[in-house]
Amino acid sequence: MTKRVGVVTHDEMKKHCTFHEHPERPERIESIMKELAAQELLQKCISLPCREATTEELTFIHSVEYVTRVDESVAICKELEDGESHYLDPADKDCFLNEFTARAARLATGGLIDLVEKVMNDELDSGMAIIRPPGHHAEENKCMGFCFFNSVAVAAKVIQQKFNLQKVMIVDWDVHHGNGTQHLLENDNSILYFSVHRHDNGNFYPIGNSGSPEQIGKGLGAGFSVNVGWPRDGMGDAEYLSCFYNIVLPIAHQFEPDLILVSAGFDCALGDPLGHCNVTEEAFGHLTQLVLSCQKRGKVVLALEGGYNLHSLSKSCAQCISVLLGAPPSSLHSLPKVLMEGCPEDKPLTVSSQQKYKLADPALDAVKTMLATISAHKEHWVLEHEESVLNELAVKLKPLEEVKQKELKKAQRKKEKALRRLTRWEMQFRR
């Protein structure tokens, strides 16, 4: 049965732009909407109007002074010469502003709030906000990483108060850690924030300790910030699906959220110029289905964050909306064996009996990363079964990884030897 899925966007969000090349560009929204129309998905959705978030709503999360600074940028930008951009922080060239930025950011947040409200009122089953600029890096008093207002965090707090929700979950699969979302909510035990992202031992944006497994929340919020920070690039379907089965699902089932918001960044997708990971478009459909299974009534709303390869961005969004509409997720090229061994019996992976997969294991360093997250949360969540499954997998993968490393070293020595030989030939030729 087709579900009632809401989609919200606004053409004026595309007016937020710069004269210089920038990955966070208006074509992102255009490419998604064209793909949804081409796959005849848009016609099956319910399109909603979009309005600006009020200052009262924004200040659930942001300071009045910061909201005022963003609003005041409109007059400043109108005085700029052609080709110039304005920055709230001259040292941060990621967050450009023009005269339309403040309205675009308010539309993004207001549109998301209204979409979530309709889901909570049972006018819709679920939805996706195709919005920009993104929001999950924005802090209380600071724009960061292309983000001005933290739409998902604002929506979570506004809707929580309006509907007296006891438990809200935020799932963030953007390749960058949502530092703003975590910092704004890390003392709150009524909102569970989960993020899977590249961390690279603190060398990936946002640089530093942000998003490390040890960051579990503060005070009453201890245990309600869950971070899986990959140590490198190249993570793909096996790693992400293993993470969801062994960490997201068991924690969500224990938390039992009244609502799930997804910071849906697609910069971990295959081919993204910033993320350099390998998640396929089909896998995003599976991730969406898994998130739906975490809320007993399927009250899930996705909000666009990152994603800068227009092809993978649009195709991945289409997969997510297709699943929200009730279609089964598309076939994957490979699935991690750990899913078959470690998933809860009442939440099996939905696959057709005719589909045959070449099973793949997640990388050893990804398994170790997941184990580090589980270890950090031992006092807060029951994850003994998942820890056991991953430990067994790590033991199995270790000798395979050692062989792989030996082969890589052998190949490197061979390459170095060839380069030395080439250098000798060049020297002889010059003589």
Question: Which residues have a catalytic role annotated?
Answer: 137
Cα angle value 11/12/15 (rounded, 5°): 110
CA dist 172 and 123 (Å) reads 25
Tell me the Cα Rg of the chain. Answer: 22
CA dist 115 and 400 (Å) reads 48
SS3 state at 332: coil
CA dist 388 and 295 (Å) reads 26
CA dist 79 and 133 (Å) reads 22
**259-264, strands of its sheet edge to edge:** 46-48, 5-8, 126-129, 300-304, 259-264, 168-172, 191-198, 225-230
The CA–CA distances, whole Å, from 82 to 50, 97, 130, 302, 309 equal 29, 13, 29, 36, 27
Cis omega (within 30 of 0) for bond into 133? yes
Instruction: Classify residue 12 by its DSSP letter.
Output: G
Nearest to 30 by CA among 111, 130, 134: 130
CA dist 205 and 64 (Å) reads 27
Neighbours of 261 (CB within 10 A): 30
Tokens of 88: 């709230």
Residues 6+ positions from 56 with CB-CB distance below 8 Å:
none
Nearest to 253 by CA among 244, 264, 242, 261: 244
Could you tell me which residues are beta bridge partners of residue 335? 359
Tokens of 256: 């039992």
CA dist 406 and 186 (Å) reads 43
